[in-house]
Amino acid sequence: MTSSEQEQLWNGPSGQAWVESQELLDQVLAPFETLLVEAATARAPRRLLDVGCGTGSTTLAVARRLGTGTRCVGLDISEPMLTLARMRAQREGSRAEFIRADAQTHAFEPATVDMIVSRFGVMFFDDPVAAFANLRRAATEDVALRLIAWRSAADNPFMTAAERAAAPLLPELPARNPDGPGQFAFGSAKRVHTILEESGWTGADVQPIDVECAFPAGELDAYITRLGPVGRLLQEADEPTRARVMQTIRPAFDPYLRGADVRFVAACWMLSTG
């Protein structure tokens, strides 16, 4: 998927799905936000950049914690998600700023950002080496990098449960390309190290983290039908197809049901320097 296709996707169905699911997704991903807020608090940067900020939860949380001493800027290519992020900032009187731009090509002011964070926002570049080189030019010499990305699809069975269950019923379901832009583009630690080294991030550390995530079981149908490759296809499917697919998919999530909650372990990388 090219950068133009990513732009179309995140300004279309995927971006809208994230806007509609903002509260649910912020709940699911809250443990990662906490990790990044703690890292930012320990560093106390002057200017922080949140790459792939989406609807702004992490940017806003960092700005809330650090106060006026830090300029917090969220960057994303999705106008629907940024519109919501700006509305959230206005509602709470936050000084966080939001820019619509592609981190791969945006003309950052050189050597001005002393901390870069991301909660699953760096796996979608069609040229990740160019993107990380661009971020390196934007960064100060002593920059702190704290980026969270998914490990492989095999390491994250919850994330692909719907696809595996629905595949016989949805032949048009796109195959995952582990080397292309997408959720699992950073699945290989070797590839991540290569990207960082070739883009000028010498000495970067890539460590596995396993984080337990949860959300109410009553939100499971909304999760399945709105998000990911299956969700995108179900949004366009007729009602009999949706019902048939959902009947097939639901049992695939039984192993993750714990009373009133859905619980799973997210297998990720923490990319860091400084």
The sign one gets for the Cα dihedral 50, 125, 174, 183 is negative
For the chain, what percent of residues have pLDDT higher than 70? 99
Q: What is the pLDDT of residue 5?
A: 79
Residue 4 scores a pLDDT above 80: no
Q: How many CA atoms lie within 13 A of 211 on its CB side?
A: 22
pLDDT 10s digits, 160-190: 999 999 999 888 888 888 778 999 999 999 9
Rounded Cα distance between 126 and 196, Å, is: 15
Residue 198 scores a pLDDT above 80: yes
Q: Which domains does the chain have, with CATH numbers?
A: 3-153+177-213+265-273 (3.40.50.150)
Q: Model's pTM, two decimal places?
A: 0.95
Residue written as tokens 């714990």?
258
Q: Taking residues 8-19, what's their average pLDDT?
A: 89
Picking from 212, 211, 228, the residue whose alpha carbon sits closest to that of residue 220 is 228
Contacts for 6 with CB less than 8 Å, ≥ 6 apart: 77, 124, 126, 181
Phi/psi at 32 (5° precision): -75, -35
CA 260, chain centre distance (Å): 26
Distance (Å) of CA 219 to CA 21, 166, 226? 10, 19, 11
The sign one gets for the Cα dihedral 260, 159, 264, 54 is negative
pLDDT 10s digits, 67-95: 999 999 999 999 999 999 999 999 999 99
User: Which residue type sits at 205?
Assistant: D
Rounded Cα distance between 12 and 89, Å, is: 22
Q: What is the pLDDT of residue 3?
A: 63
Q: Binning pLDDT at 50, 70 and 90, where does residue 123 land?
A: very high
Q: What is the pLDDT of residue 173?
A: 86
Q: Buried b vs exposed e over 228-265: b needs ≥16 C-beta within 10 Å?
A: bbbbbbbeebeeeeeeebbebbeebbeebeeeeebebe
Q: What is the pLDDT of residue 116?
A: 98
Q: What is the pLDDT of residue 39?
A: 98
Rounded Cα distance between 208 and 263, Å, is: 19
Picking from 22, 69, 26, the residue whose alpha carbon sits closest to that of residue 48 is 69
Q: Taking residues 14-28, what's their average pLDDT?
A: 93
Highest mean pLDDT among 17-21, 225-229, 245-249, 266-270: 266-270
Rounded Cα distance between 68 and 53, Å, is: 20
Q: Taking residues 189-212, what's their average pLDDT?
A: 96
Residue 1 scores a pLDDT above 60: no
CA 50, chain centre distance (Å): 11
Contacts for 12 with CB less than 8 Å, ≥ 6 apart: none
| Cα radius of gyration rounded to whole Å, the chain | 18
In this structure, of 24-38, 60-74, 104-118, 224-238, the range with the lowest mean pLDDT score is 224-238
Q: Taking residues 245-271, what's their average pLDDT?
A: 97
Q: Taking residues 3-23, what's their average pLDDT?
A: 87
